[in-house]
């Protein structure tokens, strides 16, 4: 099937300014021709063609969804000629970019990393603008990046390793957001054993350690009122003799939520909230998995904190459930 490509384009320009491409926009994705990928990655036509062939043969991507033929008008000498040209979407561009062994390929990987992080922050902004198709689009992009990175040789670049960590952590996170969207979230697979009890005093000591570590201003960790002391007490709140937050994960989630939202300090509220969240998890032996890896990545924690900061007051319960589902024993 052949389609006419519309005139909506964005301009991509390399850092050195030597390469500029008219990137086509169609169907909420971008499309490049094979010739444009040759120029983008400063590679050869044979190399790009070989990568595309292997990507399809290895079932990394489906040709039907990533390759489309568009009728385009090309300038050939003094004539304008209408030709049918194969275009490749963002999924294919990313997969080829991770296979190309050129400096442009490395720069592309760095660019893809930054784009992914922007998508992640947008995906975690739970507000009136969040839509099911945005989550589906984000999941698809992450899956493609994950498969592409796994195809790399043992010696990968630092940014590829960092990106792979983000991909692994966010795959489960996106499923959690899907459950949020369909109101299916529930508390499960949590930890009841609680060897550590947070108090106002030991929490303030941890904040003092954080202040000394980063050499922050006198405003950092300076209490504006008694709300922080109240937050510590609230995670241990009971009703009729039963704890409202009976698991370690629920208490940790509430601690992150309350410190982020209450703005108890003159400066550093988000940093303090994230630090105390990790501190509480670590002292209760749930920060690390049995294999020694962290249960929650730093990027994930940043996203969670931003998500809470952007949430509405009436969304408190669902925010806590989201956090619990990202740190429970299913992770």
- Domains, the chain, ordered by start: 2-181 (no CATH), 200-327 (1.20.120.1870)
Residue 248's pLDDT band (cuts 50, 70, 90): very high
Residue with more model confidence, 318 or 37: 37
198 vs 79, which has greater pLDDT? 198
- What proportions of the chain, in percent to the nearest 5, are helix, strand and coil? 55, 15, 30
**106 touches 43 (CB < 8 A):** no
Judged by average pLDDT, the poorest of 74-78, 99-103, 119-123, 298-302 is 119-123
Q: What is the dihedral of CA 238, 239, 242, 245, to 10 degrees?
A: -50
Higher pLDDT: 160 or 96? It is 96
Residue pLDDT, tens place only, 127-138: 334 445 544 555
Whether residue 257 contacts residue 320, with contact meaning beta carbons closer than 8 Å, is answered with yes
- Say whether pLDDT at 225 is over 60: yes
The helix/strand/coil state of 293 is coil
Average confidence (pLDDT) over 223-244 = 92
- In tens, the pLDDT along 141-165 reads 555 555 555 555 544 444 444 444 4
Phi, psi dihedral angles at 46 (to 5 degrees):
-65, -40
Do residues 5 and 60 make contact, with C-beta atoms less than 8 angstroms apart? no
The pLDDT value recorded for residue 28 is: 58
User: What is the pLDDT, as a whole number, of residue 154?
Assistant: 47
């Amino acid at each position: 099937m052949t389609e006419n490509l519309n005139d909506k384009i964005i301009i991509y320009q390399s850092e050195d300014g030597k390469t500029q491409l008219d990137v086509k926009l169609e169907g909420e994705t971008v499309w490049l021709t094979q010739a444009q990928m040759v120029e983008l990655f400063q590679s050869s036509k044979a190399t790009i063609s070989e990568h595309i062939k292997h990507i399809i043969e290895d079932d990394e991507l489906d040709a039907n969804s990533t390759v489309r033929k568009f009728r385009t008008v090309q300038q050939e000498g003094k004539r304008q000629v209408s030709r049918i040209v194969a275009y490749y979407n963002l999924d294919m561009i990313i997969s080829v970019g991770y296979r190309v062994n050129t400096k442009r390929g490395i720069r592309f990987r760095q660019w893809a990393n930054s784009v992914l992080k922007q998508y992640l922050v947008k995906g975690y902004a739970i507000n009136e603008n969040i839509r099911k198709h945005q989550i589906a689009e984000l999941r698809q992009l992450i899956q493609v990046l994950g498969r592409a990175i796994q195809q790399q040789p043992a010696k990968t670049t630092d940014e590829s390793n960092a990106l792979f960590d983000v991909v692994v952590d966010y795959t489960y996170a996106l499923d959690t957001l899907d459950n949020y969207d369909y109101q299916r979230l529930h508390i499960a697979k949590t930890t009841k054993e609680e060897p550590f009890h947070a108090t106002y005093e030991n929490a303030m000591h941890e904040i003092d350690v954080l202040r000394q570590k980063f050499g922050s201003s006198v405003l950092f960790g300076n209490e504006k009122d008694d709300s922080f002391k109240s937050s510590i007490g609230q995670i241990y709140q009971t009703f009729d003799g039963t704890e409202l937050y009976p698991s370690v994960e629920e208490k940790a989630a509430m601690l992150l939520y309350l410190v982020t939202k209450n703005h108890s300090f003159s400066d550093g509220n988000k940093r303090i909230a994230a630090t105390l969240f990790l501190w509480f998890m670590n002292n209760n032996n749930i920060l690390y998995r049995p294999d020694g890896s962290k249960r929650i990545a730093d990027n994930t924690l940043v996203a969670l904190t931003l998500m809470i900061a952007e949430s509405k007051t009436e969304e408190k319960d669902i925010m806590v459930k989201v956090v619990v589902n990202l740190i429970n024993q299913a992770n």
